[in-house]
Amino acid sequence: MTATYTEMQSLVPALQPRFSYGRGLRLIREDGVEFLDAVSGTFNLPLGYDDPRVVEAVIDQLRRCAHVSSSYSAPYAQAVLDALLELAPDNLGSGWMRDLTGSTANECAIKIAQKSTGKSDVLSLHLSHHGQTVFTTAISGNAFRRSAFPATRSAMSIKVPAPYCYRCPLQSSYPGCGFACVESIADTLEYAGNGSVACMIIEPVLGNGGNIVPPPGYFDALSQFCRERDILLIADEVQTGIGRTGSMFACETFDIRPNLMTLAKGLGGIGIPVAAVLMEERLDVLEKYDHSFTSGGNMLAIAAARATIEVAGHPLFLANVRRSGLALESLLRSLPEQFRCIGDVRGVGLMWGLEIVGQDNAPAPELAARIISIAESRHHLILRGSRFGFGNVVKVRPALIATPDDLDELVARLALAIRDAENEQAAA
């Protein structure tokens, strides 16, 4: 039986620590105790808590002015978009920067798809997460998040199986499956669609769904499927963008050429809210009044994004992320030899997940939650779980500035937390 939210929360420490400030990968509590953050805040601190280049850029802009209307900020936003487009897949030639969050950026991309095609429906994956507005909750692939909100039961949303090879929903086995998860989409559209699919939105790595990394060839098959049916492909890079996978964008890591790409989280460098949509030039169809928010693309967000791109977009910085990713992979892949509860280790760059299992390899979300709780309360290590705490994957996503010593310390503390949780379970 699946635990309720209240039951899952009981596994979390009753008193959350109160922090005074952050330095690099660490949060310092009021009493001076340091916590090592293994998940970059909410995956939105690629440069850590206090990167001086971003801090100074934001402070300098704050001294000048924090906000002007979008009519006046547009040239500065365009400079940020131009810098992003220089690094993005070469088929993307235009952009939109009037959002602060990934949720509304994804809504923007879908508006563009619907307006440019005249079609309505949106394809997405089971286990996907595209935001927490009413609309992005509706198109995300976890039903428990929609249960209390009738407006999220959107007829425009069609959900199809995720490329979750470790627990294939179609009982197939890669590589002999022939990408059944892609082939099955055709049947879904025939029997569940209305013949009016505007777009498919995908996360290159399914983040909240369990850090699911699609197998080689999946995106080729999916892209071909979409091209043959004139379905626009949107890459939701809210979690994967800005260096997380070892490339500036995961589309480069996986050789995807989407029609649109959304960015947020990491674009602010140190947690400054900012978002953007990149698109093919032919899709630049929105009027200003179609999608615009008061603080979207404000001057502080623009300053943070500009500085972040300069740092994270540098080839030497990204090369170091790839080296760190290989080191973290090696450390994490050693853990299943020590702990029977780790069923799978998967990831890319500095975006990893440990699938926690129980008897007969069954998912063990309660144990995953306990590991996360023990890590924080006893070992001062901050982790996060999948599916908003309902899932059985422990996520490990340190800031991209992590040193080899940081990674060694992170995995050592993680191992202690897993050991403690397994010992508790054995003693129960």
pLDDT at 149: 85
- Strand 121-125 and strand 157-160: the pairing is parallel
pLDDT at 150: 82
Same-domain check for residues 405 and 295: no
Whether residue 125 is contained in a domain is answered as yes
pLDDT at 10: 57
Same-domain check for residues 406 and 333: yes
- Residue-wise pLDDT for 348-378, tens only, equals 999 999 999 999 999 999 999 999 999 999 9
Helices (H), 18-51: 40-43
pLDDT at 6: 56
Final residue belonging to a domain, choices 269, 286, 312:
312
In the chain the first and final C-alpha atoms are separated, in Å, by 19
DSSP code string of 40-91: HHHHT-TT-S--HHHHHHHHHHHHH-S---HHHHHHHHHHHHHHHHHHS-TT
Separation of alpha carbons 338 and 304, rounded Å: 42
Whether residue 355 is contained in a domain is answered as yes
Q: How many CB atoms lie within 10 A of CB 185?
A: 23
- Cα Rg of the chain (Å, integer): 21
Whether residue 77 is contained in a domain is answered as yes
The domain that holds 422 is classified in CATH as: 3.90.1150.10
Same-domain check for residues 284 and 222: yes
Whether residue 109 is contained in a domain is answered as yes
pLDDT at 54: 98
Residues in the chain: 428
pLDDT at 297: 86
- Residue-wise pLDDT for 251-267, tens only, equals 999 999 999 999 999 99
Range of the domain at 28: 5-37+315-427
For 236, list phi and psi in degrees, rounded to 5.
-85, 95
Same-domain check for residues 102 and 147: yes
pLDDT at 17: 73
DSSP code string of 397-419: ---TT--HHHHHHHHHHHHHHHH
Same-domain check for residues 74 and 202: yes
Final residue belonging to a domain, choices 312, 335, 359:
312
Whether residue 47 is contained in a domain is answered as no
Separation of alpha carbons 412 and 415, rounded Å: 5
For the chain, which ranges sit under pLDDT 70? Answer: 1-16, 155
Under DSSP, is residue 151 helix (H, G, I), strand (E, B) or coil? helix
The domain that holds 153 is classified in CATH as: 3.40.640.10
Whether residue 45 is contained in a domain is answered as no
Separation of alpha carbons 428 and 102, rounded Å: 42
Same-domain check for residues 191 and 180: yes
Same-domain check for residues 260 and 379: no
Final residue belonging to a domain, choices 256, 279, 312:
312
What's the structural domain count of the chain?
2
pLDDT at 142: 85
Whether residue 94 is contained in a domain is answered as yes
Residue whose structure tokens are 């069954």:
362
pLDDT at 1: 45
Same-domain check for residues 250 and 147: yes
Separation of alpha carbons 181 and 364, rounded Å: 25
Strand-pairing partners, residue 395, are: 353, 384
Same-domain check for residues 284 and 150: yes
Same-domain check for residues 361 and 212: no
Same-domain check for residues 217 and 347: no
